[in-house]
Structure 1
Amino acid sequence: MIFRSLFIGVLTLSFCTAISQDKLPASALHPYGRYWRSGSQLELAGPAAHFGFRATGAECNLFAFTRNDHDYLQYEVDGRYKGKIVIKDSAHAPTLLKLGTPGPHTVWIYRTTESGAGALVIQKITGKGLQPLARPNAPGIEFIGNSITCGAAADTAEYPCTLGGYFDHSNSYDAYGPRVARALRANYVLSSVSGIGVYRNWNSNSPTMPEVYGNADLRDNSRRPWDFTAWQPSVVSIALGTNDLSHGDGHTPRQPFDSAAFVSAFTKFIQTVKSHYPAARIAILNSPTVGGKDGILLRNCIVAVKARVDALYPSDKPIALHFFGPMTVRGCGGHPSVEDHGLLADELVPFFRQLLQTAK
């Protein structure tokens, strides 16, 4: 943790603007992740969408609101995680961020929840000696996935599973993807949605990931296209299939899993990803929550997808695969907990380290 703090502090010093101020408008921020700008406001859409700034005071005020009843942000100061912040649906009351002793400090703010909760709107920051931080020059990983990749239903620190709503248990900061990226000093984007699949979802046939991937908010019928030219990841990780294999709620009519449809849709989706990121290494992960016969079926389907894509792109580097072993998850509703995500990340760090090295 001390090393990470030193690294972030040194790294961001060279990427902040030269002029400090006491009011930092959202239009001056350099966001990372799924987002869009609306006038002078910054709207964070995807889980773990984030931005950074420097401050010289012991505290500052964040002006943010949600169009939902409430939402959450997470933040770190000088590389040390400080916790969750609840954001209400008011656009007027600021949220106080305690930074510790008088600075200088580097602060990073992360959207906790996902696009299903609606966008979380950032208006401005007030304080002393504020400077926006740009993204560091580092390799990047895009993590495409479902609720597991979102870090959904993982956090019971404030609410046990029996209390609160679905998004009250979200923790994208501690999901496996951001943990891996921090360990490898990589930039990252989470393009993930709870319940989503490749050719069908947890309890519905659409909209699937291939249908919403081109939208900034990963939602159906969106009018906000995602600008794929804004960022080119070195590696794209795809972890889908959990919901395709799901039996749903047991009440909604659902056909048996169609492995041919899954493999076909997955292959076409990877072709779409490659069209946007032709130089990126592609990796496919299985699901740590799908075991037994379904786990074997998912593994066989993923192997088939790899074979098809590798045959379609013989001059590209082959699809990389990682298969998790069985995991008894401890989060809510059959999801990995924050602690489980730590185990997943530890397992994945060597895998992604090698991919980043070979992606160069």
Structure 2
Amino acid sequence: MHKTFLALTIFTFMAISIIAQPSKTKFFAADHPAFTYQGRIDFSNPKAPRFWAAGTSVKVTFTGTFCDLEIQDEVLYGTYHNYLEISIDGKEPLRIQTKGKENKIRVAENLKPGKHTLIISKGTEALMGYITFVGLHCQSITKSPVLHKRKIEFFGDSITSGMGSITTDIPCDSGQWYDQHSAWYSYAAITARTLQADYHLTSESGIGLIHSCCDKPFTMPQVFNKVNLAKDSIDWNFSSYQPDLVSICLGQNDGIQDSLKFTTAYVKFINTLRKAYPSTQIVCLTSPMADANLRNKLTNYLRGVVEYCKAQGETKIDYHTFQKSYNAGCGAHPDKAEHIQIATELADYLKKTMKW
């Protein structure tokens, strides 16, 4: 009896010990085929892809109760630290800021055993420098199911990038200029998720069509074909992503311009885009930040551009005027709640235009 009890005790102790051990993890490098990437990314080193643009992301399904991320930050100017927006199983993302050049971050823990979908998205834009995705430490990974067949590309400025939208964590006019950035909650990203579409945010704070603000040396037509818009560097391969829809939201930084000069440049930009995207629907938008005067001017500009393009044989082009100004965020940008309103209006319009 004593031996039987002792053996049972040892067996029970061993079983508890085994269960108590944390799941063994493996390292999965960035070039693993299970990872799905979204956005303009530099893959010149497949094991160290670099993300510049806001909203660029990597997605994967992992097994286990926790997961660790390895990521590097350029730490531009020695001081800038990018924000990441990390979503687990489709839930609201967690905003995490990098701490240095090398970062190992516990992005998920205390989850239920089983499979979980992870999205790691760059919350800040190219002006903040790049992040490098190194890989994940977890039990196992598999490719996430393909959920979206639709593709959208959003050309725009700070509004499209989500600048100044998150005002609850760090108040406006405090911290760094980028602390309120959130690409995840930009009207563009919200619109894409509403329409069940993959998306690229080809956007940059301060940029315009013919005039950029803040001493920026480039305009959108000069850098639209780059991976890093902030530095006009690394050519983008347009054949790698052919969107069903292109949205152009420029004009806030241009302000009121000479009508002929602005519309001529806009038509030229559309013709350039058409060469890259032969069958894509193009939609031109007024600025959601614009006051009534600028909104009316932009509406007139865009109406003229679209009418001219259609007269030249263009069939897949339209424009939309936002119904009001959205300025509750930092620097008179839209805040998160207003981005949701903008996205609701835009998604409703696009559903009709695209018959989605």
The amino acid that maps onto 1:265 is: A
Q: Which has the larger radius of gyration?
A: 2
Which deviates the most, 80-89 or 106-115?
Answer: 80-89
CA RMSD of aligned residues (A): 1.7
Match of 1:198 in 2: 209
Shift of 1:311: 2.1
Structure 1 residue ranges (4+ consecutive) displaced by more than 6 angstroms after TM superposition: none
Which deviates the most, 145-154 or 133-142?
Answer: 133-142
CA 1:134 to 1:66, structure 2 compared with 1: closer, same or farther past 3 Å? farther
**1:111 aligned to 122, 131, 152, which one?**
122
CA contact (8 A) 1:281 1:355 kept: no
Match of 1:302 in 2: 302
Match of 2:224 in 1: 213
Match of 1:98 in 2: 108
Q: How does 1:120-269 map to 2 (within 5 A)?
A: 120-133=131-144, 136-204=147-215, 206-222=217-233, 224-245=234-255, 257-269=257-269
Alignment TM-score, normalising by the size of structure 2 = 0.87
Q: Secondary structure at the match of 2:31?
A: helix
The amino acid that maps onto 2:27 is: K
Q: How does 1:274-353 map to 2 (within 5 A)?
A: 274-312=274-312, 314=313, 316-353=314-351
CA contact (8 A) 1:197 1:240 kept: yes
Which deviates the most, 149-158 or 286-295?
Answer: 286-295
The amino acid that maps onto 2:184 is: Y
Shift of 1:301: 0.9
CA contact (8 A) 2:280 2:316 kept: no
The amino acid that maps onto 1:23 is: F
CA 1:136 to 1:24, structure 2 compared with 1: closer, same or farther past 3 Å? farther
Shift of 1:295: 2.1
Aligned residues: 324
CA contact (8 A) 2:68 2:137 kept: yes
CA contact (8 A) 1:46 1:217 kept: yes
Q: Secondary structure at the match of 1:171?
A: coil
CA contact (8 A) 1:235 1:355 kept: no
CA contact (8 A) 1:70 1:88 kept: yes
Alignment TM-score, normalising by the size of structure 1 = 0.86
Which deviates the most, 303-312 or 115-124?
Answer: 303-312
Shift of 1:127: 0.8
The amino acid that maps onto 2:99 is: K
Matched, 1:24 2:31: no
Matched, 1:63 2:56: no
Deviation sequence 1:322-358 (CA, Å, 0-9, x none)? 1111224210001000111011011111112223337
Match of 1:49 in 2: 56
Deviation sequence 1:265-297 (CA, Å, 0-9, x none)? 111111111111111000011012212322221
The amino acid that maps onto 1:95 is: I
CA 1:301 to 1:206, structure 2 compared with 1: closer, same or farther past 3 Å? farther
The amino acid that maps onto 1:269 is: F
CA contact (8 A) 1:73 1:86 kept: yes
Match of 1:33 in 2: 39
The amino acid that maps onto 1:27 is: D
Shift of 1:130: 1.7
CA contact (8 A) 1:65 1:88 kept: no
- Percent identity reads 29
Task: For 2:260 and 2:145, locate their aligned partners in 1 and report how far apart those are by CA, in whole Å.
Answer: 44
Task: For 2:54 and 2:154, locate their aligned partners in 1 and report how far apart those are by CA, in whole Å.
Answer: 11
Match of 1:10 in 2: none
CA 1:205 to 1:79, structure 2 compared with 1: closer, same or farther past 3 Å? closer
CA contact (8 A) 2:292 2:325 kept: no
CA contact (8 A) 1:142 1:189 kept: yes
Task: For 1:221 and 1:142, locate their aligned partners in 2 and report how far apart those are by CA, in whole Å.
Answer: 18
Deviation sequence 1:29-56 (CA, Å, 0-9, x none)? 3311121124220111111111111111
Which deviates the most, 150-159 or 231-240?
Answer: 150-159
CA contact (8 A) 1:149 1:192 kept: yes
CA contact (8 A) 1:55 1:105 kept: yes
CA contact (8 A) 1:114 1:193 kept: yes
Deviation sequence 1:289-326 (CA, Å, 0-9, x none)? 212322221111111111222222x1x42421111112
Match of 1:249 in 2: none
Deviation sequence 1:126-163 (CA, Å, 0-9, x none)? 11112244754511111110000001111112200021
Task: For 1:341 and 1:232, locate their aligned partners in 2 and report how far apart those are by CA, in whole Å.
Answer: 26
